[in-house]
Amino acid sequence: MIMKSIITLIFLFSIVNFCYGGKTSDYVRQQWPSADMSKGSFPPPSGYNAPEQVHITQGDKEGRGMIISWVTPLKRLPNIVTYWEESKDNDKQMAKSRVTHYKYFNYSSGFIHHATIENLQYNTKYFYEIGINGTARRFNFITPPEVGPDVPYTFGIIGDLGQTEDSNHTLEHYMANKNAQAVLFLGDLSYADDHPYHNNERWDQWGRFVEKSVAYQPWIWTTGNHEIDYAPEIGEHVPFKPYTHRYHVPYKASQSSSPHWYSIKRASAHIIVLSSYSAYGKYTPQYEWLKQELPKVNRSETPWLFVLLHSPWYNSNNYHYMEGESMRVAFEPWLVEHKVDLVFAGHVHSYERSGRVSNVRYNITNGLSMPIKDASAPVYLTIGDGGNIEGVANNFSEPQPSYSIFREASFGHAILEIKNRTHAFYTWHRNNNTKPVAADTAWFYNRYFYPHEEPDTANV
């Protein structure tokens, strides 16, 4: 009798609800203390006033522009970047930077340069050089192919990186992948604000740390809470001051009024970046921008539609639990309506992959508060596991909610390989401390061209 009731209950539960067969990984990361790498770990390049902290990001809507940024520590000059196509080193072009600097409490920044170069050839290797005479430094990058529906492209995904030895492992593991062409960065860069007085020398050190990757391929920036740097107790009232001086993005090219939300097209992807730390309620600029942005996405041109933001909407960790909820309520119906393929978030210092679920039926009176399987909904990926000073978020809620397919409390990064308009292959790589190990893989099917159900198991 009891057995029969239990079976009936299980049966009822399985029709009301659904089950993805979620898995909580039993990999246990060794818990060393996460300290930031020592001050001398990434010293400035040699030479008087040598340019440092070189970084690039996409500089226009379609991928024919690049913003090249660097810091000269002592003098405003040199403010010129020279660049040329690999095959045309007798045809060099120059671009002038816009120079800025700022003070933060008792810190005074170097001269921060941003030069936008435009009308580059697609799919072409460029060299660029900054500095003069003995301090000249040369780098290179490859422009993306022309935007189009079947253009394969490989993105790396990194979040919450910081600057510990774990951060260095994450970055080295990512860089060991020679196929990855650009990084989608999910916010929380330097964690300078975890140091007394938000010691902004930690922003400089971070710039020197990540240069080995970001001087050679664009990182697409998302704003996290560690970029706010709001510290009225030391007289710092302007949110995002260090971040917005140091990291520029092409927000005007997508008619945005703020660097914290914008979009770009790259190869076969349309990428929308949102800000968890800017207003998003009805009538706010971010709300109005997203409302007009989503209908403009042309899936025949860019089949893949991704959203990047910092604070996850579906997160079953007790850390930062439900912090993304009010933004989910504000925007989730639009993302489902426009069949967003994937939503990438950071913030929670662990890894999690959801099934395709939505929770848009709920209103304040109907009680339908459980997420349900929804073929039009995105997959939610939490990749806040770069390995920063705050350590790993190792407290998942139990039982694992049915929307959660795989979760693991350790550090790592992800790779997304777009194959064509229908298929993309995804891998999350755990830092098995000093070695990357592929620990979660999935085929994602495009929501517009191939909205079939994906296998819903954890493939470890």
Ligand X SMILES: *[C@@H]1O[C@H](CO)[C@@H](O)[C@H](O)[C@H]1NC(C)=O
Provide the binding-site residues for Fe ion, judged by CB under 5 A: 188, 224-225, 347
Nearest approach, Cβ of residue 439 and ligand X (Å): 8
Stretch that binds ligand X, among 76-84, 176-184, 352-360, 361-369 (CB under 6 A): 361-369
How many angstroms separate the CA atoms of 251 and 261, rounded? 7
Strands (E), 309-378: 342-345, 351-354, 357-358, 372-373
Q: Verify whether residue 113 is a known catalytic residue.
A: no
Q: Which does 363 bind (CB under 5 to 8 A by kind): ligand X, Fe ion, none?
A: ligand X
The answer to whether the Cα torsion of 49, 50, 54, 60 is positive or negative is positive
* Numbers of helices and strands, H then E, in the chain: 6, 26
Of positions 82, 177, 420, 441, contacts ligand X by CB under 6 A: 420
Q: Which alpha helices (H) appear in 300-384, and where do they start and end?
A: 325-337
Task: Identify which of residues 67 and 442 has a Cβ nearer to ligand X in the complex.
Answer: 442
Contact 318, 267 (CB under 8 A): no
Nearest approach, Cβ of residue 96 and ligand X (Å): 18
Of positions 86, 118, 146, 301, contacts ligand X by CB under 6 A: 301
Omega cis (within 30) before 399: yes
Contact 312, 324 (CB under 8 A): yes
Task: Identify which of residues 188 and 229 has a Cβ nearer to Fe ion in the complex.
Answer: 188
Q: Which does 103 bind (CB under 5 to 8 A by kind): Fe ion, ligand X, none?
A: none
Catalytic annotation, pick one of 320, 347, 349, 429: 320
Contact 343, 382 (CB under 8 A): no
Pairing of the two strands 304-308 and 269-273 = parallel
Question: Would you count residue 106 as binding ligand X (CB under 6 A)?
Answer: yes
Task: Identify which of residues 44 and 391 has a Cβ nearer to Fe ion in the complex.
Answer: 391
Stretch that binds ligand X, among 16-24, 177-185, 261-269, 415-423 (CB under 6 A): 415-423
Classify each residue of 97-120 as buried b or exposed e, where b means 16 or more C-beta atoms within 10 Å of its C-beta.
beeeeeebeebebbbbbbbbbeeb
Residue in the block written with tokens 């040199």? 78
Task: Identify which of residues 285 and 451 has a Cβ nearer to ligand X in the complex.
Answer: 451
The answer to whether the Cα torsion of 162, 168, 169, 170 is positive or negative is positive
Question: Would you count residue 46 as binding ligand X (CB under 6 A)?
Answer: no
Closest of 78, 149, 142 to residue 115, by C-alpha: 78
Of positions 300, 322, 453, 457, contacts ligand X by CB under 6 A: 300
Query: For residues 158-217, which are near ligand X according to CB under 6 A?
Result: 165, 168, 172, 197
Task: Identify which of residues 128 and 319 has a Cβ nearer to Fe ion in the complex.
Answer: 319
Q: Which does 318 bind (CB under 5 to 8 A by kind): Fe ion, ligand X, none?
A: ligand X
Question: Would you count residue 422 as binding ligand X (CB under 6 A)?
Answer: yes
Task: Give the phi and the psi of residue 425 in degrees, each rounded to 5.
Answer: -110, 135
Helix (H/G/I), strand (E/B), else coil: 103: strand
Nearest approach, Cβ of residue 363 and ligand X (Å): 4
Task: Identify which of residues 299 and 347 has a Cβ nearer to Fe ion in the complex.
Answer: 347
Query: Catalytic residues, which ones?
Result: 320
Residue ranges in contact with ligand X by CB under 6 A: 37, 41, 106-107, 132-133, 165, 168, 172, 197, 298, 300-301, 318, 363, 365-366, 395, 419-420, 422-423, 432, 435, 437
